[in-house]
Amino acid sequence: MANIIDGKKIRDYNLDIMKKEVGELNDRGIFPCLAVIIVGNDPASRVYVNNKKAACAKTGIISREYALPEETSTEELLALIDKLNSDDEVSGILCQLPVPAQIDSDAVLERISPAKDVDCFHPENVGRLSIGNGKMLPCTPNGIMKMLEYEGIDPEGKTCVIIGRSNIVGKPMAMLMTAANATVTLCHRKTANLAQVASSADILVACVGKPKFVTADMVKDGAVVIDVGMDRDENGKLCGDVDYDSVMPKTSYITPVPGGVGPMTITMLMRNTITAAKEQKNS
C-alpha cells in the first residue's frame, strides 16, 4: 500500500524549526530579509509572491516587495538589483519569473549577487552545486531531498530516473541525487524507450510539465514517485505530471498534487534566505 507523502506536514515541520532559528538569530542582531521583485501583472506570479511573503511572515523573516510596471526595461531592473546587492539589510534577492519579454532574464539572474541568490540560479551557484559544495541549494530539488529524508528514504545506491531536464528542476535534481549517491538517469523528449528507462527507477521524479504524463506502465512495483507537475487536466482541474489514480497503487511512496512537492519549494527558499543571512554575517 502506498504511503502518501504529505508536503504540508513536512513544510510545517521545517518552518517551525526555521522560526526558532530566526528568533535566535534576531537575539544576536541578525535579521534575515528577503527582497522579492515582481515585474508586471501575471496573476500566477502574484499568487506565488504572496505565498512567499506569507512564508516569510510565518518564520519571522523580513520580506520586502518591489513591484515594477510591465514596461520596465532590463536596465531599470538591473539598477534595482544593484541597489539591493549593496543593501546590507537585504540577505536574499528573488526576481519572480517569468519576466516580460523585453527583459533579458539571463542578464537579470546573473546580476543578482551569488551570495544573495536564494533561487540558486546564478551560474556561480550552479557551478558550486555541480562540484558538490553549494551553499545555496535549488529550492524545488532540495525540497524533494528533504521530503525523502523526512520519510527515511535514502537515495544511496538507488536508481533515480528524472523525467525533464529544466534548469530549475531536472538538472539540479540530478546533481543533488548524484551527491546523495544515487545512480541517476536524466530523461528528456529525445530519450529512447522512455517507459522502459522510467520503469527501472527506484525513485522516479516527474518534472515534465505535461498532465498525467507518467502512466502505470512506466513505474516499477514499489517505486518512490515524486511529482513536480502543476498542470491542468482536460476538465481544467489541477493535476500533476503523474496519472495519480493508476500509478499510486504500484508505489511505496508517492507525492500528491496539490499538497506534495509544491509547499516544499517555498520552504527551501526560507532556508536559503537564512543561510544567506548567516553567511553574510559570518555566523
Query: Does the annotation mark 96 as catalytic?
Result: yes
Please state the closest distance from residue 218 (CB atom) to ligand GUN, in A: 25
Site of interaction with ligand GUN (CB under 6 A): 94-97, 119, 139, 168, 265
- Rounded to an integer, what distance in angstroms lies between the CA atom of residue 157 and that of residue 70? 48
15/230 with CB nearer ligand GUN: 230
Rounded to whole angstroms, what are the CA distances from 55 to 118, 147, 181? 14, 18, 31
Beta bridge partners of 117: 93
Shortest spacing between CB 151 and ligand GUN, in angstroms: 23
The one catalytic residue in 6, 117, 119, 241 is 119
Cβ nearer to ligand GUN, comparing 108 with 277: 108
Distance of closest approach, residue 62 Cβ to ligand GUN, in angstroms: 18
Question: Which residue is closest to ligand GUN by CB?
Answer: 97
> DSSP string covering 93-127, please?
EEEPSPPPTTS-HHHHHHHS-GGGBTT--SHHHHH
Shortest distance (Å) from residue 186 CB to ligand GUN: 19
For the question of residue 52 being annotated catalytic, the response is: yes
Identity of the residue, 117 or 243, whose beta carbon is nearer to ligand GUN in the bound complex: 117
C-beta of 139: minimal distance to ligand GUN in Å? Answer: 6
Nearer to ligand GUN, 7 or 220 (CB): 7
Give the active site residue among 52, 171, 212, 220.
52
Q: Which of 150, 40, 145 is nearest to 102 (CA)?
A: 40
How many CA atoms lie less than 13 Å away from 211 in the CB half-sphere?
Answer: 10
Which residues make Cβ contacts (< 8 Å) with residue 277, sequence separation at least 6?
A: 25, 30, 31, 32, 33, 91, 92
- By C-beta, is 95 or 144 nearer to ligand GUN? 95
Alpha helices in 118-247 (DSSP H): 123-130, 139-150, 170-179, 194-198, 244-247
Q: Which of 108, 206, 122 is nearest to 166 (CA)?
A: 206
What residues act catalytically? 52, 96, 119
